[in-house]
Structure formats: structure tokens, C-alpha cells
Amino acid sequence: MAMISFRPDERTERELRELTAGRDRSTVLREIIHEAYVAQQYAQTREDAERLRNDEADRAELARIAAEMGDADAW
């Protein structure tokens, strides 16, 4: 397991003290990193969805597939 060290500024140190009140600092840092990772993944997914929503070739392919499948009520 890698050891990570950082030099927090005064604001970050104050915020970290509040976040870790009564808790293990390493656990809190792991949670913060995990939350940031999940937020980044959601942001990337939103960007990808927006890009695909505006991709004319992709939309045309979806329309072609829908037409090929026929009426959805038949399923």
C-alpha cells in the first residue's frame, strides 16, 4: 500500500480537522478520495451522454435500429 503525504494549507487543515473530529484521519481521507472519484465518474458519464445525445450519426443509427425493430408495442 502506498503512503501519501501532503502539505495542507491552513484552510484545508481546518476543514480536515472538522471532518475527522472523532474519526481516523486515514479513513476520512479514503472516503474523500472515493467520493471525488465517484463524482468524476458521474461527470464523465454526463459528458459522454451529452456528446452522444448530440451525435447525429449515433442518433441516425438508433433511429435505424428502432425502425428495424418495428412497433415497440408488439414486444
pLDDT, averaged across the chain = 91
Distance of alpha carbon 64 from alpha carbon 67, whole angstroms: 5
On the 0-12 / 13-18 / 19+ scale of CB atoms within 10 A, 7 is exposed
Decide: pTM greater than 0.85: no
Question: Residue 27 — pLDDT band, cuts 50, 70, 90?
Answer: very high
- H-helix or E-strand containing 62? helix 56-69
Inform me whether the pLDDT recorded for 73 exceeds 90.
Answer: no
Distance of alpha carbon 66 from alpha carbon 51, whole angstroms: 20
Distance of alpha carbon 37 from alpha carbon 23, whole angstroms: 21
